[in-house]
Amino acid sequence: MSVSLQKGQKVSLTKEGQAGLNRIVVGLGWDEAQGGGRGGILGSLFSAPTQAIDCDASAILLRNGKLTDGKDIIYFGNLRHPSGAVQHMGDNLTGAGEGDDEQIVIDLERVPAEYDRIVFVVNIYQAVERRQHFGMIRNAFIRVVDARGNQELCRYNLSEDYSGMTAMIFGETYRHNGEWKFNAVGQGTTDPALPDLCRRFM
């Protein structure tokens, strides 16, 4: 049974009832809001989009909580980690369609021991140039699926108004006392692009 998470809530992926869990799929999804979003004080600075909003999901592997190598950023331009433990399944340019818009597959057993945390982020491609922001996005979510039987373990629906935010830290999975856990983060940022977002972890 899937667990519905609230912002800041943590759940164990490998302890209770998940013996043998070694491969997960992290699915991220979103839809473009009709009429350009809800606006708000910051959102009023942006006009409605004239083209589809292109959200890009990425995974950032951290060593002792820090990003130390560009190879540890898994995104549409670097789909597979050198260890083979993390793989991005490809870019979705519009967010159209039902279900996950982008997926990142993680083989937990193959994640090298020096990595203690994997952060999942989404940024809007050319957000500043296109005057687009997350107030123009609805139905955003992140979920974790057991790859063995495609069973959803947990889901976090981002329900806040993120007007003016151009990037999002959706969630993270991390090691703690021999377990893998998931944390629903839901933190919006004004970072204009993925490199700026990654600097938060350096």
Structure tokens at 136: 């123009």
Q: What is the pLDDT of residues 72-86, one digit of tens each?
A: 999 999 999 999 999
> Counting beta carbons within 10 angstroms of the beta carbon of residue 44, is it exposed (0 to 12), middle (13 to 18) or buried (19 or more)?
exposed
Q: Does 167 or 35 have the greater pLDDT score?
A: 167
How many domains, in total, are found in the chain?
A: 1
pLDDT for 42 equals 45
Q: Which of 166, 184, 165, 200 is nearest to 65 (CA)?
A: 200
Q: What is the CATH number of the domain that holds 54?
A: 2.60.60.30
Q: What residues make up the domain containing 18?
A: 3-201
Instruction: For residues 80 and 90, give the distance between their C-alpha atoms in angstroms, rounded to a whole number.
Output: 10
Q: What is the pLDDT of residues 170-192, one digit of tens each?
A: 999 999 888 899 999 999 999 99
DSSP strand pairing (151-158 vs 3-5): parallel
For 164: left if phi > 0, alpha if psi spans -120 to 50, otherwise beta; the answer is left
